[in-house]
Amino acid sequence: MKANKAKLNYLVDALIAIGFIISLASGAILLFNADSGYMGGRNPRFNQSIILFGKYTWKEIHNWSSLIMAAGVFFHFVLHWNWIVCMTKKIFKREAKQLQCDL
């Protein structure tokens, strides 16, 4: 049982890491190339290609990778909920100092 839980934890953590890296990279690309706004249709650089994709595509990549990361964080909390509750009790209640909080 612990081996399956360890594999599941690994997959969830990998999902979070991949989502974070993609979100970080796409966010940096959007941040440093943010001057290609719409300007009433008069901007010739509006959807100019930025490292393989246009600005709209980078925004979509950024949004979806951020949602994937958030979903991974949610599942991470679900998987570790018992540990979170146990540690919270251990920290805030004096009589619970002897609790054993295992993952």
Quick: pLDDT tens for 3-58. Answer: 798 899 999 999 999 999 999 999 999 888 766 555 555 666 666 677 788 788 88
60 pLDDT band, cuts 50/70/90, is very high
The CA-atom distances, in angstroms, between 96 and each of 66, 89, 91 are 37, 6, 8
Give 77's pLDDT tier (boundaries 50, 70, 90): very high
- For the chain, the structural domain boundaries read 2-78
What is the pTM assigned to this prediction? 0.73
Instruction: Give the chain's end-to-end CA distance (angstroms, integer).
Output: 12
**According to the model, what pLDDT value does residue 68 have?**
96
